[in-house]
Amino acid sequence: MRINLASVFVDDQDKALAFYTEKLGFLKKTEIPLGGPYRWLTVVSPDQPDGTELVLEPNVHRAVKPYQTALVEDGIPATSFAVDDIHAEYTRLRALGVHFTQDPVAHGPVTTAILDDTCGNLIQIAQQHTS
């Protein structure tokens, strides 16, 4: 068994696609119209184009917005992405105008930072340190 898809709820699919591709550097993998304004929209890591897809899922279900709001208010990321060099990625993203709610902080074997994806979520980036 392996993870095939993971979702992040977004308040605007066009804005999310722009952020996740132009700022974070993911590649659009799938875009299928679902009727109305919604699409099945996924992105992937350029390092693993056949790997796990991230669904940029509309936050239209009545439970999602209160859930997103509560997570953001409590500073809890919706998901986490691995990076090889967190300080370089933090610097790159800041130069692109990405807002961080937490600068890089070491937590033992991992360093994390938290950013605002502009679509209703906080996203963590994390670097695992090897001994």
Segment-wise mean pLDDT, segments of 10 residues, the chain, 131 residues: 95 97 98 93 97 96 96 97 97 98 97 98 96 66
Give the chain's domains with CATH numbers. Answer: 5-128 (3.10.180.10)
pTM of the model: 0.94
Nearest to 56 by CA among 65, 68, 44, 70: 44
**What tens digit of pLDDT does each residue of 5-26 get?**
999 999 999 999 999 999 999 9
Q: First-to-last CA distance in the chain?
A: 29
pLDDT of residue 131: 66
Q: What are phi and psi of 60, to 5 degrees?
A: -85, -15
